[in-house]
Amino acid sequence: MEENNVFTGKTKEEAVAEGLKTLGLTEDQAEITVLEEGKKGILGFGSVKAKVKVCKKATDGERASAFIDGLMKILKIPAFSDVVSDGDKIEIEVKTTNTSAVIGRRGEVLDAIQCIAGAVANIGRDEYRRVVVDCEGYRAQREEKLKAVALAKAAKAVERKKRVAMEPMSPYERRVVHSVLASNEDVTTISEGKEPMRRVVIIPKDELPYERREKRGGRQFNRDKRFEGERKPGDRREGRRFEGRRERGDRGDRRERPERPARSSAPRGKKQIFLGTFLGNSGAGQEEGAERDDKE
């Protein structure tokens, strides 16, 4: 009995065998779901036939494509996916009228979709299969641009004989750069940093050793060679600035400073008047105040 890939038999094994024979599949190629276990009954009464559903097992690429279609519906993006290749490398093409929403800035959204689709495709597998998700030919355009940038950076590293670091990239884009420069005999490439800031570093074969220099006051400073005329600790009496001061007899030599005049004991006007008044010497304060008014 066949109805929507549902098969029955006296036992579960008999129903599965009937389904595989009808669909022309092997057990490894089929996805089997047991809907009802069979019962023998007593003396032929009360027996129930087993019921199973047999379907062709979806390939890794088809499962990943079905996931992408469901994700597009959740994101409300009008798009559908198609499995282009399901060999050693799974290639899926996403077709949409809103490419910017699927690709994102520098392919960030497309890379995220590819990462999750790869995880879905490798469920239950011992060996990892690589999954590449593309949209409207974006991968090919991006690869051409990365190749041009990688070759230019490699030429710059060889010319300066110093390593050059590229901008942070996704694992897929770093792989493209490594493959482009793999045949270049003048440079080698490595990846440094942690995700998402991991980047490719291009190292020339004749790289110059790194020289560490300290900077002080905006100028390069060498500990072994001091600037000419710079004063060292302990040479205070031998410096040119201090010798010049002693020769001129200015503020540099404290022994030749003129003595300060002694402070005058003369009264200081109204402040003295106030003080005298406060102490009760009001008469003296009035006389001194009158003399001062006459002079003014």
Residue 159 falls inside a structural domain:
yes
Average pLDDT in the 269-292 region?
A: 44
Q: What is the pLDDT of residues 63-100, one digit of tens each?
A: 999 999 999 999 999 999 999 998 889 999 999 999 99
Which among 186, 204, 222 is the end of a domain? 204
DSSP character at residue 107: G
Residue 78 falls inside a structural domain:
yes
Q: What is the pLDDT of residues 191-228, one digit of tens each?
A: 999 988 999 999 999 988 876 655 555 555 555 554 44
**Number of domains forming the structure of the chain:** 3
Are 80 and 46 in the same domain? no
**Distance between CA atoms of residues 115 and 129, nearest Å:** 12
Does the structure show a pLDDT above 80 at 151? yes
Are 76 and 37 in the same domain? no
What band does 294 get if pLDDT is binned at 50, 70 and 90? very low
Residue 185 falls inside a structural domain:
yes
**In the predicted model, what is the mean pLDDT of the chain?**
77
Q: Are 202 and 164 in contact (CB under 8 A)?
A: yes
Are 70 and 85 in the same domain? yes
Which among 178, 204, 230 is the end of a domain? 204
Residue 226 falls inside a structural domain:
no
Give the pLDDT score at 292: 42
Q: What is the CATH number of the domain that holds 118?
A: 3.30.300.20
Residue 250 falls inside a structural domain:
no
**Distance between CA atoms of residues 194 and 186, nearest Å:** 26
Where helices occur in the chain by DSSP H, the ranges are 12-23, 60-74, 99-103, 108-121, 138-160, 171-181, 240-248, 270-279, 282-295
In which domain, by residue range, is 168 found?
143-204
Residue 264 falls inside a structural domain:
no
Which among 93, 108, 136 is the end of a domain? 136
Residue 192 falls inside a structural domain:
yes
Are 131 and 92 in the same domain? yes
Q: Which two tokens stand for residue 149?
A: 């940038």
Give the pLDDT score at 209: 84
Are 103 and 162 in the same domain? no
Are 168 and 183 in the same domain? yes
Residue 114 falls inside a structural domain:
yes
Handedness of CA 251, 253, 258, 260 (dihedral sign): positive
Are 78 and 97 in the same domain? yes
Give 63's contacts (C-beta < 8 A, 6+ positions apart): 120, 121, 123
